[in-house]
Structure 1
Amino acid sequence: MIKKIAIYGKGGIGKSTTVANLSATWASDDLKCLVIGCDPKADTTRTLYGQRIPTVVNTLKDNRNPERDDLVFKGFKDILCVESGGPEPGVGCAGRGVIVAMKRLEKLDIFEEDLDVVVYDVLGDVVCGGFSVPLRENYADEVLIVTSGEYMSLYAANNIVRGVKKLKGNLSGIICNCRNVENEEEIVNAFAEKIGTHVIGTIHRSNLIQDAELDAKTVVEKYPESEEAGEYSKLASNIMDNENISIPEPMDDEEFEEFFKSFI
């Protein structure tokens, strides 16, 4: 059975880094992975392929009947990499690129291949219909939310939880991607408990991760024996072994404000 995961979070919180390193970990354990970047920036798979790959949207502009190899690229440990792409900033709906990409991949029978894991890197803008596609169209079976202990990151996470609940999605847990704020792990654990889930793993801030990204690699590939790679390995195992799945209960805005202020 294929494990199909959509990973959400506020822009800039580290979703793409998390998705890439998790995929690199699973692939290193001989699992067959498909990674789909659902962000117009198209940077999810850069550290898996070693450079940016052509997006589905841009490819379709020049070629109405692309072959599989025009859209799907093999990266580290043969991870299949796809970037949906989207319009230029300020022009059109970014989510449309996700819809176009999913339909085109279906047409090419990508989802019928022998896969173990499919991971979607999804923006946290759940208001946009396109970004709800992985859940609404049943491409993903479960959701993970990446957050730090910062106010805006948790605020965005709470909004994502609203979207997940509305779509009757299954939340598998919260990934704490640390930014070194005071009481960070305590805050994120309390947030997870408040909405009816748990912290499935914690990634501590590290310059080694950024160093690997500058070289267009994951830390799992460039520094496989590092503590950082070990944290991703533990997170990857937790996700695979997880049985704590729930439909979450978001806080309303006033409740969230009171919750966060209790840690100040």
Structure 2
Amino acid sequence: MGTKVIKQIAIYGKGGIGKSTTTSNITAALAEAGYKVMQFGCDPKSDSTNTLRGGDYIPSVLDLLRENARVDAHKAVFEGFAGSYCVEAGGPQPGVGCAGRGIISAFQLLKQQEIFEELDLDIVIFDVLGDVVCGGFAVPVREGIANHVFTISSSDFMAIYAANNLFKGIKTYSDKGGALLGGVIANSINTDFQRAIIDDFVEKTQTQVIEYVPRSLTVTQSELQGKTTIEAAPTSEQAQIYRQLARNIIAHTESKVPSPLDSQELRDWSSDWGRRLIEEETRPRRKARPRRAAALAS
């Protein structure tokens, strides 16, 4: 009997883009569907898995290592919604040390004690801060820990800038056994223009959109309860979108090297879209005639 292959993916995105929100809903949707899934939070704030646990924080691996030189990895694994598993890598004390160290320490601890195999996991999702892809934050990409990398981006310039930087990192490590790109999760997409910007960016960088996720008040209402949308509003349209996103990710098998834009290309591209947006906003709108006047004219 062959050894079970665990699907390991990393989801990157700049701070505030909705990365942990989206990741937690993917985890919840997969767990709800019967997959054995672990969410591995890689943010020093250690808040990736909160909504999978009713808003509760859990001790991070670095918290445990600061208290004891030797740690039983089981103490770092907590159960979340629908039987999902939650781990927080954690970070150093504020102003001291490398924030990426927690990722390395946490992964090594769980790997050495064979926790992934013991839990018989189907998928591990690394939720990684993606403003700067360096040091420990690049570990899932650089070391090939993740099989596939996805990035969350809105149509805002800084989100696209962060995504493009991630593409550069993936391209750099692609010939050294690094993880490859699965695609872009387009978040906060509520207008045709926002969708068009993302579509143009993925075309220019030779990648793809995995799913379009609109901004929704349902997500805010759910998070205020300390829950994912999948748990708090299971029949909502937003929950269905997250379920489809989860299905797309679990079915994804072929990742590739993206073609990031260089600095000048990205600036020219964004300037062109800025000009097009201004033209759209200033274009004269045809005024609707009053109903009575329209009726008389007919």
State how 1:145-184 maps to structure 2 within 5 Å: 145-168=151-174, 169-178=179-188, 180=190, 183-184=193-194
Deviation at 1:128, TM superposition (A): 2.3
- Is the contact made by 1:37 and 1:45 (CA closer than 8 Å) also made in structure 2? yes
The whole-number CA distance in structure 2 between the counterparts of 1:175 and 1:244 is 16
The Cα of 1:180 is off from its aligned counterpart by: 4.7
1:46 is matched with which residue? 50
State the Cα distance separating 1:242 from its structure 2 match: 2.7
1: CA distance, partners of 2:192 / 2:251: 30
Indicate the structure (1 or 2) with the bigger Cα radius of gyration.
2
1:174 Cα deviation from its structure 2 partner: 0.3
Counterpart of 2:250 in structure 1 is 240
Compared CA separation, residues 127 and 230, structure 1 to 2 (3 A): closer
Q: Could you tell me how far apart the structure 1 residues matched to 2:193 and 2:232 are? A: 30
Match of 1:89? 94
1:21 equivalent to 2:25? Answer: yes
Report the identity percentage: 47
Q: Which residue number in structure 2 is paired with residue 261 of structure 1?
A: 271
Distance in 1 between residues matched to 2:22 and 2:88, nearest whole Å: 16
In the other structure, the counterpart of 2:230 is 220
Count of residue pairs the alignment pairs up: 264
* Alignment match of 2:34 (pick from 30, 33, 37): 30
Distance in 2 of aligned mates of 1:116 and 1:127: 26
One-letter amino acid matched to 1:263: W
RMSD across aligned positions (CA)? 1.5
| Stretches of 4+ aligned residues off by more than 3 angstroms | 179-182
Counterpart for residue 100 of structure 1: 105
The answer to whether residue 179 in structure 2 is matched with residue 139 in structure 1 is no
Unaligned residue ranges in structure 2 (runs of 5+): 275-298
Instruction: For 1:244 and 1:184, locate their aligned partners in 2 and report how far apart those are by CA, in whole Å.
Output: 26
Matched, 1:123 2:133: no
Deviation at 1:129, TM superposition (A): 1.3
Query: What letter is aligned with 2:159?
Result: S
Check the 8 A contact 1:126/1:163 in 2, yes or no.
no
List per-residue Cα deviations over 1:160-200 (Å, max 9, x = no partner): 11011112131111000116577111101111111111101
Q: TM-score, normalised by structure 1?
A: 0.96
What is the SS of the residue equivalent to 2:11?
A: strand
- When residues 243 and 33 of structure 1 are mapped into structure 2, their CA distance, relative to the original with a 3 A threshold, is closer
| Match 1:249 to one of 243, 256, 259 | 259
The answer for unaligned runs of 5 or more in structure 1 is none
In the other structure, the counterpart of 2:279 is none
**Secondary structure at the counterpart of residue 40 of structure 1:** coil
